[in-house]
Amino acid sequence: MLTNDRLHWLTPAALVMLSATPGYAVEYLSIEQAQRLCFPKADQFAASHIQFTPAQIKAIEAASGQKVLVRGEQVWKATQGGRLQGFFIVDYVIGKHLAIDYAVALSPDGAVRQIEILQYRESYGGEIRNADWRKQFAGKTARSPLALNSDIRNISGATLSCRHVTEGVKRVLATYELCLK
Partner 1 sequence: MKSNPSRARTALRRLALAASAILFCQSFGAFAASPPEPAAQPDNAAILKKVEELEAKVQTLETRLSKYENAPPAPSSPLDRSVLTENLALENSPSAETATTPQLDTRPALFGLGYRSNAILSIGAYGELKYGAQQTPEGWRHGFDSGRVVLLPTFQITDNIVFNAEIEFEHGGIAVDADDKLTGSVELEQAYIDFRFNQYFNWRAPGVDVVPFGYINLFHEPTQFYSVQRPELDNGLIPTTWFEGSTSLYGKIVDNLNYQLQVNTGLEDIGRNGGVPDGPYDPGISGTEALGLARTPIGDFNQAKNALGYALRFSYTPPFVPGLAGSTSVFYTPNVTPRNAHSDNGGALGHSSVTMLDTELRYRVPKTGFEFRGEFVDVFLGSPGNLRANNDSDPADNVGDNMWGFSLEAAYHWDLKPRFKNGWELVPFYRYTFENLQTGGFAGRDENRPTGQGKRQFHTFGFAVFPTPQLVLKLDYQFALDDAPDSPKSDHFLGAVGFFF
Residue 83 interacts with partner 1 (CB under 8 A)?
no
Integer Cα distance of 6 and 145 in angstroms: 62
DSSP state for residue 128 in the 8-state scheme: G
Angle value at C-alpha 137, between 136 and 138, nearest 5 degrees: 95
34 is a site residue for partner 1 (CB under 8 A): no
**Among 11, 15, 41, 157, contact with partner 1 (rule: CB under 8 A):** 157
Q: Is 108 in the site for partner 1 (CB under 8 A)?
A: no
Of positions 6, 62, 150, 181, contacts partner 1 by CB under 8 A: 150
Q: Residues 57, 60, 115, 169: which binds partner 1 (CB under 8 A)?
A: 57
155 binding partner 1? (CB under 8 A): yes
Stated as kind and residue range, the H or E segment containing 89 is strand 83-94
Q: Which of 7, 10, 62, 69 binds partner 1 (CB under 8 A)?
A: 69
Yes or no: say if 117 and 142 are a contact pair by the CB < 8 Å rule.
no
Long-range contacts at 19-22 (CB < 8 A, ≥ 24 apart):
none
> Taking the complex as a whole, how short is the minimal distance between the CB of residue 171 and partner 1, in angstroms?
14
- Does the footprint of partner 1 cover residue 16 (CB under 8 A)? no
Pick one of 12, 22, 81, 82: the residue that binds partner 1 (CB under 8 A): 22
63 touches partner 1 by CB under 8 A: no
Between CA 132 and CA 125 the distance in angstroms is 15
Q: Which helix (H) or strand (E) holds 2?
A: helix 2-19
Cα 47 to Cα 58, 73, 136, 158, 172: the distances in Å are 24, 11, 27, 32, 16
Question: Which amino acid type is present at position 31?
Answer: I
Q: Does 163 bind partner 1 (CB under 8 A)?
A: yes
Residue closer to partner 1, measured from CB, 76 or 86: 76
Residues that bind partner 1 in the complex, under the rule CB under 8 A: 20-22, 24-28, 31, 47-57, 69-72, 74, 90, 92, 94, 96-99, 101, 119, 121, 123-124, 126-127, 129-132, 149-150, 153-158, 163, 179
